[in-house]
Every structure is written in C-alpha cells, then in structure tokens.
Amino acid sequence: MRQLEKALLDYKCVVTALQETRVPERVMRIGNNFTLFNSNVTASRWTSGIGFAIANKVMSSVVRWVPVNDRLCLIVFRAKPVNISIINCHAPTEEAEEEDKNSFYTDLEKLYDNQSANTVRLVVGDFNAKVGQETEYRPTIGPESLHEECNENGMLLVNFATMEEMIVSSTFFPRRLFHKSTWVSPDGRTVNQIDHVLVDKRHKSSVENVRTFRGADMSSNHFLVVVKIRVKLSTKWNKRRKKRNAS
C-alpha cells in the first residue's frame, strides 16, 4: 500500500482503476491520500478483486459506487460540463473458457447500457486483449496499437466497442513501442498491450492522452497506464451545495 500511494502521488493520479486487488475490505485507506473502493463479492483476500483508488481531495465528487463482482465495478463522478462514468474491468485470459468470456461481456454490456448517455462514459482495465491495426475495424480502433492483429480477446473487445459505439482510445496515440506495452512476462522477454481505455464516440475528444509509464513501482507485471481526460471534477460546487443544504 505504501508503494501504491507513492506511485499515485508521483504520477499525480486522481482516479486509478486497479485489478487483482486481493484484499477483503470493501473500503479502505491507502495511506493519508487515497481511499480504495474494492469490489470483491467473496470478501476473501485470495480472490482477484477489482476497484478504484480515489484521491481524498476529490471524494466529494463521487456520486455513485457500484461493486458488481470480482471482474467489474463502476464509479460515477460529478464533473463539468457533464458527469463522468468509469467502468473498471478485469476480463478473463485468452485461455479461459468461452462461457466465462461470454458471461463477462454480457455483464459488461448490461452495466454500460445502464449508464446515462449524457455522461462521459469510459471503460478501462485489463482486458487480456491484443488489439490489432486492421483497417476493417476502423474507426473503432486506431493505427497505433502495439500489435498488428487482434487475438481472440481482442476481437471480443473490438466487437463490444463497435456495438456500443465506442473507440479504443489506447490505439490512437502515437508513441514509441516502449510506451505502448502495458504488461511484461515474468522472464521479462515478452511485452504486450493488453490494458485499454475505451470512450464513447460522442466524447472521444475528452480523452487527450493515453500512455504507459514503466517507472511506477507497484510490484506488478503491469505498467501504469495514465489517461488524461478533459473534464473538471466539481468538488467546489459540491461543497457550496452542502453548505446551502445545511442552512
């Protein structure tokens, strides 16, 4: 937790989607600066778990927190000019059973469809998906993926994005290959881009940048993927509203 707090402070992260949290608590402090909202239906530290680390300075902007299961959760923030909904995902691996993959995307579609179209809707996380550069899947995907072709999980992700009229933002920003990979094998020989950021097409310009930072030390074989979003969390407005209600 100390490592995590230091990394989030160093990289000025405000809202961080975490996978494989492996803690039983539903809500817990991360040092003095962050709060972890953890979706872990079995309340066991040995199951995967998924959640968000939220900077305490923006906690007043949280409108809703929805823990779904060990692979999906949602958080909604009051923001300007519109609210922002973020779905955090941890998809089954490429080798997982087809039934598990279909179940995951069925749950994801239901969760996404229940969110208002008047919000900036982001879907982020570890999809265990290699998204390619195939021209036939544009404009859902861009030309800047680390991989040339989609694997099976990549096709599932592209199909989901196409059906929901989203784009895979993480494949649109030109970066050195070094800054596109998001995962490294235990032996350090293989790197993949399997963590992605999706946004609804109506608000695609809200995502200003996506890149990987390898220097963040969080004892993980995944690198920190940082997303810059053009929205402003309405913390001050929320505080004024509370004062008016109190009076």
Q: Which residues of the chain have pLDDT under 70?
A: 41-47, 234-247
pLDDT of residue 241: 44
Closest CA to 228 of 211, 240, 216, 243: 211
Closest CA to 68 of 95, 108, 29, 113: 108
pLDDT of residue 96: 96
pLDDT of residue 232: 78
pLDDT, one tens digit per residue, over 45-73 is: 666 899 999 999 999 999 999 999 999 99
**What residue segments make up the domains of the chain, in order of their start?**
2-246
pLDDT, one tens digit per residue, over 187-207 is: 888 999 999 999 999 999 999
The answer to whether the pTM exceeds 0.85 is yes
What is the DSSP pairing of strand 79-80 with strand 232-233? antiparallel
Question: What is the residue type of 139?
Answer: P
pLDDT of residue 172: 96
pLDDT of residue 228: 94
Would you say domain 2-246 falls under CATH 3.20.20.150? no
Collapsing DSSP states into helix, strand and coil, what is residue 60? Answer: helix
